[in-house]
A and B are shown apart, each in its own frame.
Chain A
Amino acid sequence: MEPSGLYIHIPFCKSICPYCDFYKVKASDELMEKYEEAVVSATASLGILYSSSVFDTIYFGGGTPSCMPGSSIASIIEALRSSFNISSDCEITVECNPSSPLKSFIPSVAAAGVNRISMGMQSAIDSERRSLGRMADCVRVNQALSICRSAGISNISLDLMLGVPGQTMSSLKTSLSYAINSGVPHVSAYMLKLEEGTVFYKRKDSLDLPSEDTVCDMYDMTCSYLEGAGLTQYEISNFGLPSRHNLKYWKDVPYLGIGPGAHSCMDGKRFYYPSDVVGFIKGDLQCVPDGTSGSLEERVMLGLRLTSGIDFLDDIALSKISADPTLAPYVKISSGNLSLTHEGFLVSNVVIGKIIEKL
Chain B
Amino acid sequence: MSDYKKNIRNFSIIAHIDHGKSTLADRLLELTGMVAKRDMTEQILDDMDLERERGITIKAHAVKLDYKASDGQVYELNLIDTPGHVDFNYEVSRSLAACEGAVLIVDSTQGIEAQTLANTYLALDHDLEICPVINKIDLPAAHPDEVCKEVEEVIGLDCSEAPRVSAKTGENVEQVLEQIVKVVPPPEGDSTAPLRALIFDSIYDSYKGVIVYVRIVDGTIKAGDTMRLMSTGAEFTVVEVGYMRAQTMEPASSLRAGEVGYITASIKTVGDARVGDTVTLASNPAPAPLPGYRKVNPMVFCGIYPADGADYEALKEALAKLQLNDAALSFEPETSGALGFGFRCGFLGLLHLEIIQERLEREYDLDLVTTIPSVIYKIHLTDGSVVEIDNPSNYPDPATIQFSEEPIVNAHIFSPPEYVGQIMDLCQERRGTFKDMQYITPDRVDIHYELPLNEIIYDFFDVLKSRTRGYASLDYEIMGYQQSDLVKLDVLLNGDQIDALSFIIHSEKAYAKARKIAEKLKDNIPRQLFEIPIQMAIGGKVIARETVKAMRKDVLAKCYGGDITRKKKLLEKQKEGKKRMRQFGTVEVPQEAFMAVLKLDE
A residues lining the B interface (CB < 8 Å): 7, 61, 190-193, 212-213, 215-216, 219, 236-237, 246, 249-250, 255, 257, 261-265, 270, 272, 290-291, 297-298, 301-302, 305, 325-327, 329-330, 345-354, 356-357
- The answer to whether A346 and B555 have CB atoms under 8 Å apart is yes
- The answer to whether A291 and B565 have CB atoms under 8 Å apart is yes
Contact residues of B between 511 and 547, Cβ < 8 Å to A: 528-530
**Residues of B contacting A351 in the complex (Cβ-Cβ under 8 angstroms):** 529
Tell yes or no: B558 within 8 A of A by CB.
Answer: yes
Which of B552, B555, B565 lies in contact with A349, CB distance below 8 A? B555
- The answer to whether B561 and A255 have CB atoms under 8 Å apart is yes
Which of A237, A261, A270, A353 lies in contact with B574, CB distance below 8 A? A353
- The answer to whether B558 and A327 have CB atoms under 8 Å apart is no
- The answer to whether B561 and A7 have CB atoms under 8 Å apart is yes
- The answer to whether B559 and A250 have CB atoms under 8 Å apart is yes
Chain B at the A interface: mostly helix, strand, loop or mixed? Answer: loop
- The answer to whether A191 and B570 have CB atoms under 8 Å apart is no
**Residues of B contacting A215 in the complex (Cβ-Cβ under 8 angstroms):** 553
A250 to B560, CA, bound (A): 8
**Residues of B contacting A265 in the complex (Cβ-Cβ under 8 angstroms):** 561, 564
**Residues of B contacting A349 in the complex (Cβ-Cβ under 8 angstroms):** 554-556, 570, 574
**Residues of B contacting A305 in the complex (Cβ-Cβ under 8 angstroms):** 559
Which B residue's beta carbon lies closest to that of A347? B554
- The answer to whether B557 and A347 have CB atoms under 8 Å apart is no
A257 to B586, CA, bound (A): 42
Give, as a whole number of angstroms, the nearest-CB distance from A175 to chain B: 16
Tell yes or no: B54 within 8 A of A by CB.
Answer: no
- The answer to whether A212 and B552 have CB atoms under 8 Å apart is yes
Tell yes or no: B551 within 8 A of A by CB.
Answer: yes
Which of A291, A347, A353 lies in contact with B575, CB distance below 8 A? A353
- The answer to whether A270 and B529 have CB atoms under 8 Å apart is no
Q: A325-B586, A326-B530 are in contact. Are A270 and B571 (CB under 8 A)?
A: no
A215 to B557, CA, bound (A): 12
Q: A263-B565, A298-B568, A326-B528 are in contact. Are A249 and B560 (CB under 8 A)?
A: yes
- The answer to whether A326 and B564 have CB atoms under 8 Å apart is no
Interface string of B553-587 (1 = CB under 8 A from A): 11111111110110110110011001000000010
8 new A-B contacts, CB < 8 A, other than A215-B553, A237-B558, A290-B565, are A193-B558, A263-B562, A270-B564, A326-B528, A327-B529, A346-B553, A347-B554, A350-B554
**Residues of A contacting B561 in the complex (Cβ-Cβ under 8 angstroms):** 7, 249, 255, 257, 262-265
- The answer to whether A270 and B565 have CB atoms under 8 Å apart is yes
User: Which has the most chain A C-beta neighbours within 10 Å: B555, B567, B571?
Assistant: B555
Which A residue's beta carbon lies closest to that of B550? A347
Which of A193, A261, A291, A327 lies in contact with B557, CB distance below 8 A? A193
Q: A212-B552, A326-B529, A347-B553 are in contact. Are A301 and B558 (CB under 8 A)?
A: no
Give, as a whole number of angstroms, the nearest-CB distance from A101 to chain B: 26
| Shortest Cβ-Cβ A-B pairs, 6 listed | A263-B561, A263-B562, A190-B557, A349-B554, A191-B557, A353-B574
Can you list 17 pairs linking A and B with CB atoms under 8 Å apart? A219-B553, A236-B557, A249-B561, A257-B561, A262-B561, A262-B562, A263-B564, A265-B561, A272-B562, A272-B565, A290-B565, A291-B565, A326-B530, A345-B555, A346-B552, A349-B555, A350-B554
A272 to B561, CA, bound (A): 10
- The answer to whether A212 and B564 have CB atoms under 8 Å apart is no
A264 to B561, CA, bound (A): 7
A192 to B557, CA, bound (A): 8
- The answer to whether B562 and A212 have CB atoms under 8 Å apart is no
**Residues of B contacting A212 in the complex (Cβ-Cβ under 8 angstroms):** 552-553
A352 to B554, CA, bound (A): 11
**Residues of B contacting A272 in the complex (Cβ-Cβ under 8 angstroms):** 562, 565
A343 to B41, CA, bound (A): 65
Give, as a whole number of angstroms, the nearest-CB distance from A194 to chain B: 12
A87 to B551, CA, bound (A): 45
A305 to B558, CA, bound (A): 10
- The answer to whether B554 and A297 have CB atoms under 8 Å apart is no
- The answer to whether B568 and A326 have CB atoms under 8 Å apart is no
A350 to B555, CA, bound (A): 8
**Residues of A contacting B555 in the complex (Cβ-Cβ under 8 angstroms):** 191, 236, 345-349
A249 to B560, CA, bound (A): 6
Give, as a whole number of angstroms, the nearest-CB distance from B499 to chain A: 22
Which of A237, A249, A352 lies in contact with B564, CB distance below 8 A? A249
**Residues of B contacting A61 in the complex (Cβ-Cβ under 8 angstroms):** 560
**Residues of B contacting A290 in the complex (Cβ-Cβ under 8 angstroms):** 565
- The answer to whether A353 and B560 have CB atoms under 8 Å apart is no
Give, as a whole number of angstroms, the nearest-CB distance from A285 to chain B: 16
Q: A237-B557, A348-B555, A349-B555 are in contact. Are A297 and B571 (CB under 8 A)?
A: yes
Give, as a whole number of angstroms, the nearest-CB distance from A140 to chain B: 24
Give, as a whole number of angstroms, the nearest-CB distance from A269 to chain B: 12
**Residues of A contacting B530 in the complex (Cβ-Cβ under 8 angstroms):** 326
Give, as a whole number of angstroms, the nearest-CB distance from A53 to chain B: 16
Which of A216, A236, A357 lies in contact with B552, CB distance below 8 A? A216
**Residues of B contacting A302 in the complex (Cβ-Cβ under 8 angstroms):** 559, 564
**Residues of B contacting A346 in the complex (Cβ-Cβ under 8 angstroms):** 552-555
Give, as a whole number of angstroms, the nearest-CB distance from A87 to chain B: 20
- The answer to whether B586 and A326 have CB atoms under 8 Å apart is yes
**Residues of A contacting B558 in the complex (Cβ-Cβ under 8 angstroms):** 190, 193, 237
A347 to B526, CA, bound (A): 13
A186 to B591, CA, bound (A): 45
Which of B551, B552, B554, B571 lies in contact with A356, CB distance below 8 A? B571
A339 to B555, CA, bound (A): 15
Contact residues of B between 130 and 175, Cβ < 8 Å to A: none
**Residues of A contacting B553 in the complex (Cβ-Cβ under 8 angstroms):** 191, 212, 215-216, 219, 346-347
A356 to B280, CA, bound (A): 67
**Residues of B contacting A325 in the complex (Cβ-Cβ under 8 angstroms):** 586
Q: A236-B557, A326-B530 are in contact. Are A347 and B571 (CB under 8 A)?
A: no
User: Which has the most chain A C-beta neighbours within 10 Å: B528, B552, B557?
Assistant: B557
A270 to B562, CA, bound (A): 10
A124 to B556, CA, bound (A): 23
**Residues of A contacting B575 in the complex (Cβ-Cβ under 8 angstroms):** 353, 357
User: Which has the most chain A C-beta neighbours within 10 Å: B528, B554, B570?
Assistant: B554
**Residues of B contacting A330 in the complex (Cβ-Cβ under 8 angstroms):** 529
A168 to B551, CA, bound (A): 22
**Residues of B contacting A327 in the complex (Cβ-Cβ under 8 angstroms):** 529
A261 to B560, CA, bound (A): 13
User: Which has the most chain A C-beta neighbours within 10 Å: B554, B561, B570, B578?
Assistant: B561
A192 to B553, CA, bound (A): 12
Give, as a whole number of angstroms, the nearest-CB distance from A107 to chain B: 27
Give, as a whole number of angstroms, the nearest-CB distance from A106 to chain B: 23
A262 to B561, CA, bound (A): 8
A211 to B561, CA, bound (A): 29
Give, as a whole number of angstroms, the nearest-CB distance from B554 to chain A: 4
**Residues of A contacting B570 in the complex (Cβ-Cβ under 8 angstroms):** 349
Interface string of B582-600 (1 = CB under 8 A from A): 0000100000000000000
A263 to B566, CA, bound (A): 11
A250 to B559, CA, bound (A): 8
**Residues of A contacting B564 in the complex (Cβ-Cβ under 8 angstroms):** 249, 263, 265, 270, 298, 302
Which A residue's beta carbon lies closest to that of B570? A349
A330 to B555, CA, bound (A): 13
Q: A346-B552, A349-B574, A353-B574 are in contact. Are A301 and B568 (CB under 8 A)?
A: yes
**Residues of A contacting B556 in the complex (Cβ-Cβ under 8 angstroms):** 193, 236, 348-349
A249 to B567, CA, bound (A): 12
A354 to B586, CA, bound (A): 12
A14 to B65, CA, bound (A): 82
**Residues of B contacting A192 in the complex (Cβ-Cβ under 8 angstroms):** 557
Interface string of B351-366 (1 = CB under 8 A from A): 0000000000000000
